[in-house]
Amino acid sequence: MKALVYTDVETLEYRKFANPEPGPDEVLVRIDSVGICGSDMHAYLGHDDRRPAPLILGHEGAGVTADGRRVTINPLVNDPNSAASRSGRENLCPSRQIISMPPREGAFAEYVAIPERNLIEVPSHITLEQAALAEPIAVSWHAVRLGLASLHPADERRAHVIGGGAIGLAAALALTAMGVEQVTLSEPNAARATYLRDTCGIAVVDTPEQDIPLVIDAVGFSSTRAVASALVSPGGVILHIGLGSSEGGLDIRRITLQEITLIGTYTYTAQDFRDTCNAMFNGRLGTLDWVETRDLSDGAAAFTDIRAGKTLAPKTILKP
Amino acid sequence: MKALVYTDVETLEYRKFANPEPGPDEVLVRIDSVGICGSDMHAYLGHDDRRPAPLILGHEGAGVTADGRRVTINPLVNDPNSAASRSGRENLCPSRQIISMPPREGAFAEYVAIPERNLIEVPSHITLEQAALAEPIAVSWHAVRLGLASLHPADERRAHVIGGGAIGLAAALALTAMGVEQVTLSEPNAARATYLRDTCGIAVVDTPEQDIPLVIDAVGFSSTRAVASALVSPGGVILHIGLGSSEGGLDIRRITLQEITLIGTYTYTAQDFRDTCNAMFNGRLGTLDWVETRDLSDGAAAFTDIRAGKTLAPKTILKP
């Protein structure tokens, strides 16, 4: 098959690659659409020890099975018998794997191998470009679910999202879908901010209100954590999704004196992934049209453009 | 009256001071016993901007009212009509005050003024030295309650406490009182560790187990936060009580990838304070004899000894 292979720091080669071989209980999915994630960019820049070259990146895939089913892929492969999986927390399974991380190749390719249980069938009114958004939206859906469960019952359901990438946008959409009426978002890139306002109907603000019960850091650098620490109300919750930097930024004195909860969140449970798909399929997450598409063969240029801040849409989707 | 007055960095003077004047709804309590808290030490060292000299420190007081009631004092004074207070979170009230912080003088004195609603009557089988432990124990009781409420139902009720001061010890006692059967504690001071083992029956360990669902940082320095980040199990909870330093130590990458929750906790609600007193009075928090007593006139020397690590008991109580 043809694949976009990460071969060295800042180097992606579109070339032939051995077809993946499905293991027991696994199927081959012919990829139709696959999104580029911030973590793919992180790996491409050589910043992710978990993803050494050579490797096929990409874990946000949708496509078609050999028997003709249109599917979106939950890329998180876990041991169904681990204690974490049995408690419904597949994302905490100690033997969890994700496609695009060894030993599993990713979906920037014509085919990917994946357990049958990781497939969600896509109804005919949803395109496979839209279906490829299930994975990033599930990340945010899961985070928002954890955050709302941790908010004190007396606190207002009011939220602010830091960062207007796909995860930040999806967090805003998930908040709205879960009934939070006051949702704002901050995004420093003016063109992206305008896109989010005009295309996605998001309340992008330059200066967020203070004292917000639920603050979502969808970036994860020390600078955004400092903003989150200052914005969150006493007794409030910070959801930390991003993997930008591993230290600094949190005002731990304020977190302690004002009883703030910080929740690290990673991927999603299998149920969150299904719930996200259902919400997408039922229209509760909007029109799902905030994408740009590129040929997979053009993938290297897509990475360069994203890095240069030239893409307006929060999600770039590659088409094999 | 006589009081121990913090007059300058590392300077405490035992001298005359104007009697406090009770405001509306307030009473005078003649102090019998008052504990020295880490935050008093912090202020004494000049590290707490909230407590400028000259000031009477001390907020862990028990004593006798003018009409002869033996009481322990909840030192947190809030506005009962604030939204936080009405939701049962008096400790998050924006106008909260605590004795020993302006505008309120503290309890290292013969008398303190406090609202009547802040008093808990002490039964005759409890000494006023024991009753003065209510405040630090309530801090830990509150933290443990928040932590257990945040643990995933599938997680083992197993906890480790970092730090064997009064807050750490009280956390271990509260955990046990709330039904957590496996509780360990780490304390670097060997003499203190031995005291905690022999006098308080605490399982002090040199090397804690890994993968602990509930980790309590009762110190709050970057070094202890680093330990907490490493010990806590995936999906687990870190309770952060201490005010040692305001930055650093947390492994935010691990917190994110392993979905760890960090909860900052501060003081207690009024209900937590009452529940703590009831548990103390009913014997559920042990013998409450882990104290050393000194005359209030000897307070300056007590601070010097605590700072030099010369006190074995987790709590030093001053007697006016």
Task: Measure Cα distances from A112 to A31, A103, A225, B232 in Å.
Answer: 7, 13, 36, 35
B171/A172 Cα distance (integer angstroms):
38
**Low-confidence stretches of chain A (pLDDT beneath 50):** none
B114/B23 Cα distance (integer angstroms):
8
- Chain centre to alpha carbon of residue B28: 23
Whether residue A124 lies within 8 A of chain B, CB to CB, comes out as: no
A288/A200 Cα distance (integer angstroms):
9
A255/B241 touch (CB, cutoff 8 Å), yes or no = no
Record the tokens describing residue A205, joined without a space.
């603000």
B42/B45 Cα distance (integer angstroms):
5
Identify whether the C-beta of residue A278 lies closer than 8 Å to the C-beta of residue B287: no
Q: Which residues contact A214 (CB under 8 A, 6 or more apart)?
A: A147, A148, A151, A155, A157, A158, A159, A160, A175, A180, A232, A236, A237, A239
Identify the CA nearest to B313 among candidates B227, B237, B200.
B200
Q: Which amino acid is at A204?
A: V
CATH architecture of A2-133+288-319: Alpha-Beta Complex (3.90)
Whether residue A152 lies within 8 A of chain B, CB to CB, comes out as: yes
What pLDDT sits at residue B245?
84
What pLDDT sits at residue B88?
96
A54/B178 Cα distance (integer angstroms):
52
Identify the CA nearest to B251 among candidates A240, A76, A218.
A240
A47/A52 Cα distance (integer angstroms):
9
Helix-strand-coil split of chain A, %, nearest 5: 30, 30, 40
Point out the residue among A86, A92, A265 whose CB comes nearest to the CB of B234: A92
Q: Mutation target for A interface from B95, B252, B255, B271: give the one with most A CBs within 10 A.
A: B252
- Residues of chain B with Cβ-Cβ distance to A246 below 8 Å are 251-254
DSSP string, B186-241: E-S-HHHHHHHHHHH---B-SSPPS-EEEEEESS-SHHHHHHHHHHEEEEEEEEE-
Identify whether the C-beta of residue B221 lies closer than 8 Å to the C-beta of residue B197: no
A30/B161 Cα distance (integer angstroms):
51
B250/A250 touch (CB, cutoff 8 Å), yes or no = yes
Task: Measure Cα distances from A204 to A2, A16, A136, A223, A308 in Å.
Answer: 40, 43, 20, 19, 22
The H or E element that residue A130 is part of is helix A128-131
Q: How far is A157 from chain B (nearest CA, A)?
A: 15
A262/B261 touch (CB, cutoff 8 Å), yes or no = yes
Name the pLDDT band for B242 (thresholds 50, 70, 90): confident
Q: Name the phi and psi angles at B199, rounded to 5.
A: -90, -35
Q: What is the dihedral of CA A210, A211, A214, A220, to 10 degrees?
A: 50
Section B31-51 average pLDDT: 95
A107/A197 Cα distance (integer angstroms):
31
The string over A59-84, giving b where at least 16 C-beta atoms fall within 10 Å of a residue's C-beta and e elsewhere, is bbbbbebeeeebbbbbbbbbeeebeb
A320/A297 Cα distance (integer angstroms):
7
Please identify which residue in the block is written with the tokens 């659409």: A33
What pLDDT sits at residue A56?
98
Sequence ranges of the domains in chain A: 2-133+288-319, 137-264
Record the tokens describing residue A108, joined without a space.
């920037």
Phi-psi region of A100 (alpha: psi -120 to 50; beta: other; left: phi over 0): left
What pLDDT sits at residue A249?
95
Point out the residue among B252, B255, B266 whose CB comes nearest to the CB of A256: B266
A67/A46 Cα distance (integer angstroms):
38
Q: Mutation target for B interface from A87, A167, A259: give the one with most B CBs within 10 A.
A: A259
DSSP state of B59: -
CA-derived radius of gyration, chain A = 19
Identify the CA nearest to A286 among candidates A167, A212, A200, A168.
A200
What pLDDT sits at residue B318?
98
Q: What is the pLDDT of residues B67-98, one digit of tens each?
A: 999 999 999 999 999 999 999 999 999 999 99
Point out the residue among A89, A247, A259 whose CB comes nearest to the CB of B235: A89
- Residues of chain A with Cβ-Cβ distance to B152 below 8 Å are 87, 89
Point out the residue among A152, A251, A264 whose CB comes nearest to the CB of B256: A264
Q: Which amino acid is at B25?
A: D
DSSP string, B121-137: E--TTS-HHHHTTHHHH
Q: Name the phi and psi angles at B233, rounded to 5.
A: -80, 160
Superfamily of domain A137-264: NAD(P)-binding Rossmann-like Domain (3.40.50.720)
Task: Measure Cα distances from A299 to A3, A42, A185, A302, B312 in Å.
Answer: 10, 15, 29, 5, 65
What pLDDT sits at residue B113?
98
Structure pTM?
A: 0.96
